Structure 1
Amino acid sequence: MKMENLRDDKKLKLEFAGLIILVILVASICVFYVKNLERNMKVESDRYLGEVASQVGNVLNDRLDAVFYTMDIMALTCASMDSLDQQLSYLKLVQDKTPDEMLGVVDRNGLMRLSSGGSVDLSEVQAVQRALTGAQSLSGCVSSPVDGSDIFLYCVPMSGDNGVVGAVVASMSAAQFRELLNVGSFNQEGYTQIVDANGSFLIDSQNKNAVKNPTNLFQTLERQCRLDRGYTVTGIQNKIEGGMPGVLYYRSEDGIHKVMNYQPLAREGWYLLSVVPTKETEDQWNSFILLAIAINISIVLLFAGLICLIIQMQKKNRRRLENIAFVDPVTGGMNRTRFEMEAQGLIEKAEADTYALISLDIQKFKLINDAFGSSMGNKTLKYVHDVIQRHLKPGEIVSRISADTYDVLMKNRPQEEFLSWLKELVEEINVFNEDLTDKYFLPVYAGVYVIREKGLHMITMQDRANVARKNNKQINETKLYSCVFYSDMERVRMIREKEITNRMQTALENREFVVYLQPKMDIETNTVSGAEALVRWQDPEKGLLQPGEFIPVFEKNGFIVKLDLFVFEEVCRLLRRWIDQGIDPIPISVNLSRVHLKNPDFLDQFRKIYERYQIPPQLLEIELTETVVFENLEFLIHVIEQIHDMGFRCSLDDFGSGYSSLNMLKDVPVDVLKLDRAFFQEKKSNAKRGKCVIENVIELARKLDMDTVSEGVETMHQVEFLREAKCHMVQGYVFSRPITISDFEAFAFSGNSGGESE
């Protein structure tokens, strides 16, 4: 009996020892797993926060670069002006779009003349001083000298012939700057701030979790926070002063545990701080530890259940983070970022031609928001998303990309099936109309791009689908949907270009190209004092083709050179006929394509044609477009001198249609300045300023011994204004469209007041 008790005691001790070993082993495994999980979650959280911070930083850098780019243009424009009044008048036009901000010119002494009137002393602002030394600069938060509000100053140098002569300075309110830092992640629990290399706060945050009215980051961390995980204020300070990024975990005085990602910005040595509370994550980590402890006092069989529970919680936490980062708050589906990631992955795994990208746009959706409010609008957007989702097959995805536009990645199929799918989709979207007396339909535009090139970036594929959608011209009031395929557009374009290319030489030989003339009216004498030669294609099968259908193709393949020479010869032949018939000829202008400029001796061919017809050279005028001026100004001046040597006049066409510069007029010795129709299409709110610009351009041209012709004039009110402004000639539909030569002769030489229109 005693021996049995000893054996039982020994067995019990062995079993107990085995249990202890098992408990220790299970506990060790649990501790190891929890620690490893904790570390992985920290790495994942740090990575995600870093991505969000990097995205905000990139957006901020891009927006600052865009502002400085715009201000550089303003500085260049101001530098080209002759007086401070002109500069301020120009800047006043710009400031009218942002009346709450300061905008003006600073002289070398730091005195800023405001475009809105008055002046302020900015000589003590370091950013202004840096700009006066020739560097772009952005100030920290300063007090506005106008109203005392917090503002930031953008400062760019303004250079003249003798170096920096001043600077252009614009302000942005601290509230606007703070708006740039809004972060749409972490359920608005996270926030962003900006500090300089010394830790001084330039922009704080109004978020509920942020420290109120901070002054210095390092002082705040030292006095109000407790750093953990081995971080020290000195270490953080050294990294920021050294321009390095990093992550910091700490607990603020309100007891909230937070993680901060700090990244250097591209300007002024500033740092972007992205801060997120980690309370929920910490609670989950604690629950994992408690579960691990529970496993140590539980039987071995519960160990597998605990592991499953931990995995479930990990998945749940990841889903929560994914919802914050990748879910569209309106539809509950994937947002644009998630869609692009998922779509790119599906496309890369599949063969070419497997998928097609569809861009869907709900037409007139704005009326829903206007009539029923944004809440109903959001419900409608979710409803449309859910309908699209129900019409998809496995492996197909949808996302609301922006506003009322959706992208759908679908398996490729014949075009008829795409159209059938779209028809069924639109019918279900509008099914709510069945019982309504006053029906409100939601038409849909669709653009389809079949993905045949796997290496394309997602943005490129989206652009192609969007191009197809925006070129949708089939929809009408009786049809609720319309679809255009990108491949069709390309194929039709290429076929059309091929047809034009194949026919162009034959058309020229068969004289299918016809010269039309548009009269230029002298508004003082109300007589036709000139004309512009324009070309049309009288195709025997397709009828009269407008220049926009074939000129771009000819510009691309170089045939425009032959066509220009043909038009020039037709004009010379017409002028010769008028002279031979005893008709007092009218000067005619012909357009010169930029393609000619590739050949330095191109004018020799024009000279040979001209000499063949022996007509007075002053009857011919060569028109150059404004865009040619910016390509090779020196060569262009040489070409104009050659044109003058031949006795022809030279005009600058489309002035004002692009980035016109009054400064270029002093270098380009043309005889005629043609004002583009853009001058006469101003909104009513800008009419007074527009007239002022036109009057001054005409006056400037007069002082430079240039005649002026106003194109695109459509009303007698415009004619009266131009007459008062002393414009020489008017060309536009108010008098006549481009007309045939016979109609022009009747119009110009017989006192006829009109002609056939196109």
Structure 2
Amino acid sequence: MHDAHEMRQLFMKRLLGSCYHKVVHVNLRKDSFHILKLDEFERQHTAIDLNKASLSEWFNDFVNSGMCHESVRQRFVEFASPNNLRRLCKKCTEGSVQIVYLRLMGKDGNYQPAILEFFPDMDDNFSGFITVRSFVSSTAISKRNMLDDVENRKHDDGSKYDRLTGLLNRRAFCERADQIMAENPTKKYDIVVSDVVDFKLINEHYGYEAGDKVITEISEWLQCNKGDNFLLGRYGGDQFVTFMEHTGILTDEFIRYIYQSAREVISMKDLVFRLGIYENVDSSVSAAIACDRAIMALQPIKHQYGKLYAFYEDSMLRDLERYRRMEKDMRNSLTMGEFYLVFQPKHNASTGELEGAETLLRWNHAELGSIYPNEFIPIMEDCGFIVEVDMYVWEQTCKCIKRWTQQGIQPVPMSVNFSRLNFREPDFVQRIIEITDRYGIDRSLLHLEITENLFEASLNEMQKTLQACKDNGFKIELDDFGSGYSSLNVLGDLPLDTIKLDKSFMNELSDKKRSNILLGCISLANSLELNTIVEGVESQEQMDMLRSYGANMIQGFYFSKPMSEEDFTAYICKHSQNCQKTLRFH
């Protein structure tokens, strides 16, 4: 049994003899510090006399020195300021460590990922140890000497290494990972599969040379950012796989930091990728199965805006079987008429008058029964079938409007949802014009609904396409505003007519902060001369509040659930003075 003094000595020995290149003991009561370990590069980069400076002076000098990359400088300031360290001393329990991920300048002048840790000093409630260690060896992609081995691998006959990147191919990666797990049966490991969202569109729009360039850049970034005990491979296409010892490092903060650092060095700045993670793997599961499970985790989030990663869960195996069944059947289901439209009305918030409706798609599968859009739409996006389906919904909506007109019914404006994949199609605008004009529909009766996840791609391209739609007489609605990482900039940057506020606001209307945000959004939209539609309205209390907030339109069960064409036609007549009594359906 060690006494407190011996434990402290053991702790100090571990710090000074390990991978830390900076170890400093700080005294927050005296605003002083004692350097235990510091590399010469940082000493030379310091503008003050470290022998005479206070802790606050050193902190301010470091902030202004350029040693910390500007993208994470504020993070460093918030974590390492003397005031925050005092707070951490009080917060930390015995043995706890506080961690922040940074990018610090290395000896070669390039910024590299680093981990800054704060260990409270158990002997003094106002003291602690600040340590810095590199997470990886370097992030300098331009340093080709680090990649010489990879270059040599590209000349392999293809049996072991991927010729484009020099990384292990799928088979060789799995064999090596299986070997490592067999040699270390008591250890646990993590498998991370990364996937570039809509990579095939890069090849289609920019050419295969551009696609290869992106793949090569990702490969080089992974090589330069891997830990010493990482195993890397190209799993196929745009998928890369990392095998590492399980250390608990795959936290939300760390993953977001790695994601941001990757986007800073890869030339295609609007690149979006997702991570699927299978953790705590041991030799009882083969690497190939572990990779498949990481990919299963990845599948549901590929097109979820703001969702960067997901961990595998056992229920995903059943979900995958259902996913593959729907993917296999959906094209035939469209031909067989198993997909159908329903319509949910929109009413004026002040007068209650019917002012429009949203066209929604439903699927009545012959064997699986009713399937809702939140399940089948992501699958359609994954396989690209959504492009055909969106055009099908647009054309069916045009047919409905024409039928109403032929029956003497004054149609109301109809909004149709479009996936971001459609906006990558070069003839998208021409196609919706051709379909609309074929049925002789007034273009102002058709609104395009878009969602925030469009803006993970190039905002400039979105602006051009949406402006072309608007110039040709269509209205633009931004759907689900407030459901993701909403950017107020898009309200000024895009040619919008309407924003639809997400139904989550209705679920949290009793929360004063949330209701104030809703009020602020409506007020901002009004000041920008944008219409507002609030979704998910179900009660008179909600109606009264939204009226007082100045909302323009309401959509929700308070007025009606989504309904069939026959029921909606009767609904239009009920709310319209200009309607024939006899209705015909075709």
Return the TM-score normalized by structure 1.
0.42
Q: Is the 8 A contact 1:516 1:536 kept in 2?
A: yes
The question of whether the paired residues in 1 share the 8 Å contact of 2:296 and 2:317 is answered with: no
The separation in 1 between residues aligned to 2:296 and 2:386, in whole angstroms, is 32
- Structure 1 residue 510 corresponds to structure 2 residue 336: yes
Aligned match of 1:452? 285
Do the aligned residues in 2 keep the contact of 1:714 with 1:733 (CA within 8 Å)? yes
- Residue deviations 1:182-218 (CA, integer Å, cap 9, x gap): 5539xxxxxxxxxxxxxxxxx996635x6x999xxxx
For the pair 1:665 / 2:491, whether they are aligned, the reply is yes
Figure out how many residues of one structure are paired with residues of the other and give that number: 372
Q: Secondary structure at the match of 1:723?
A: helix
User: 8 Å contact 2:341–2:361 — kept in the other structure?
Assistant: yes
Instruction: Report what 2:211 is aligned to.
Output: none
Shift in Å, 1:539:
1.9
TM-superposition CA deviations, 1:80-120 (whole Å, max 9, x none): xxxxxxxxxxxxxxxxxxxxxxxxxxxxxxxxxxxxxxxxx
Pick the aligned partner of 2:122 from 198, 207, 211.
Answer: 207
Q: Does 1:611 align with 2:522?
A: no
Checking the alignment, whether the CA contact within 8 Å between 1:523 and 1:723 is kept in structure 2 is yes
Aligned counterparts, 1:522-533, within 5 A: 522-533=348-359
Pair 1:550 & 2:465 matched? no
Cα deviation for residue 553 of structure 1 reads: 1.0
CA distance in 1, matches of 2:572, 2:92: 65
- Which residue of structure 2 lines up, in the alignment, with residue 250 of structure 1? none
Q: State the Cα deviation string for residues 737-756 of structure 1 (Å, max 9, x = none).
A: 2221222223332259xxxx
The within-5 A match list for 1:222-237 is: none
Alignment counterpart, residue 568 of structure 2, candidates 729, 739, 744: 744
2:541 aligned residue (702, 710, 717): 717
Question: Where does structure 2 lack aligned partners over 5 or more consecutive residues?
Answer: 1-8, 27-55, 97-117, 135-177, 190-247, 249-279, 299-311, 577-586
Partner Cα distance (1:525, 1:557) in 2 = 43
Q: Say if 1:455 and 1:506 are closer, same or farther in 2 by CA, change over 3 A.
A: closer
**Cα offset, 1:641, TM superposition:** 1.1
Distance of 1:206 and 1:452 partners within structure 2 = 42
Local SS of the residue matching 1:621: strand
Q: CA separation of 1:702/1:490 partners in 2, compared to 1, >3 Å: closer, same or farther?
A: closer
Out of 396, 421, 435, which is 1:570 matched to?
A: 396
TM-score by length of 2: 0.53
**What's 1:541 paired with?**
367
Residues 1:134 and 1:657: Cα distance change in structure 2 (over 3 Å):
farther
Residue 493 of structure 1 corresponds to: 319
- Bigger radius of gyration among the two: 1
- Any idea what the Cα deviations from partners look like across 1:466-487, whole Å, max 9, x if unmatched? 99xxxxxxxxxxxxxxxxxx89
Taking only the aligned residue pairs, the percentage that are identical comes to 29
**Contact 1:131–1:137 at 8 Å: present in 2 too?**
no
The equivalent of 2:182 in structure 1 is: 348
> How far 1:177 moved relative to its partner?
2.3
Instruction: Output the amino acid matched with 1:562.
Output: E
| 1:543 to partner: Cα distance | 2.5
- 2: CA distance, partners of 1:455 / 1:498: 19
Measured after TM superposition, the shift of residue 57 of structure 1 is: 8.0
Question: For 2:436, what is the secondary structure of its paired residue?
Answer: helix
1:178-217 correspondence to structure 2 within 5 Å: 178-179=89-90, 184=95, 207-208=122-123
Summarize the Cα distance change of 1:699–1:125 in structure 2 as closer, same or farther, 3 Å threshold. farther
Structure 1 equivalent of residue 517 of structure 2: 693
Tell me by how many angstroms 1:612 deviates.
0.9
**Which amino acid is the alignment partner of residue 348 of structure 1?**
A
- Superimposed CA distance per residue, residues 150-191 of structure 1 (whole angstroms, 9 cap, x where no aligned partner): xxxx96799xxxxxxxx9998845443225775539xxxxxx
Structural mapping, 1:322-333, within 5 Å: none
Deviation of 1:550 (Å): 1.5
Change (3 A) 1:572 1:169: farther
Q: 2:417 aligns to what?
A: 591
Over 3 Å counting, the alpha-carbon distance change for 1:134 and 1:656 in structure 2 is farther
Q: CA contact under 8 A between 1:448 and 1:465: conserved in structure 2?
A: no
Q: Distance in 1 between matches of 2:297 and 2:467?
A: 47
The CA deviation at 1:465 is 13
Q: Which amino acid aligns with 2:465?
A: V
1:682: which partner in 2?
508
CA-atom RMSD, angstroms? 5.0
Partner amino acid, structure 2, of 1:573: K
Could you say what secondary structure the match of 1:618 adopts? helix
- Helix, strand or coil at the partner of 1:623: strand
Q: 1:511 Cα deviation (Å)?
A: 1.6
The alignment partner of 1:739 has SS state of coil
Shift of 1:263: 5.3
The 3 A distance-change label for structure 1 pair 552 and 137 is closer
- Residue 447 of structure 2 corresponds to 621
In the TM superposition, what is the alpha-carbon distance from 1:131 to its structure 2 partner? 6.2
Determine the C-alpha separation between the residues in 2 that align with 1:448 and 1:53: 26
How far apart are 1:626 and its partner, in Å? 1.4
Deviation of the 1:534 alpha carbon = 0.6
Are the equivalent residues in 1 in contact too, given 2:79–2:85 (CA < 8 A)? no
Give 1:700's aligned amino acid.
Answer: L
Residues 507, 710 of structure 1: alpha-carbon distance in 2 compared, 3 angstrom cutoff: same
Give the AA of the match of 1:715: S
The unaligned stretches of length 5 or more in structure 1 are 1-42, 61-123, 139-153, 159-166, 186-202, 215-259, 267-343, 358-400, 402-446, 468-485, 753-758
Instruction: Give secondary structure in 1 for the equivalent of 2:360.
Output: strand
Structure 1 residue 616: deviation in Å? 0.7
**1:494 counterpart letter in structure 2:** L
Structure having the higher helix fraction is 1
Q: Is the 8 A contact 1:653 1:676 kept in 2?
A: yes
Q: Secondary structure at the match of 2:89?
A: helix
**Partner AA of 1:619 in structure 2:** L
Give the conservation status (yes or no) of the 8 Å contact 1:517–1:739.
Answer: yes
Note the C-alpha offset of 1:347: 4.5
Deviation at 1:49, TM superposition (A): 5.7
Partner of 2:408: 582
The 3 A distance-change label for structure 1 pair 264 and 704 is closer
Write the letter of the residue equivalent to 1:178.
C
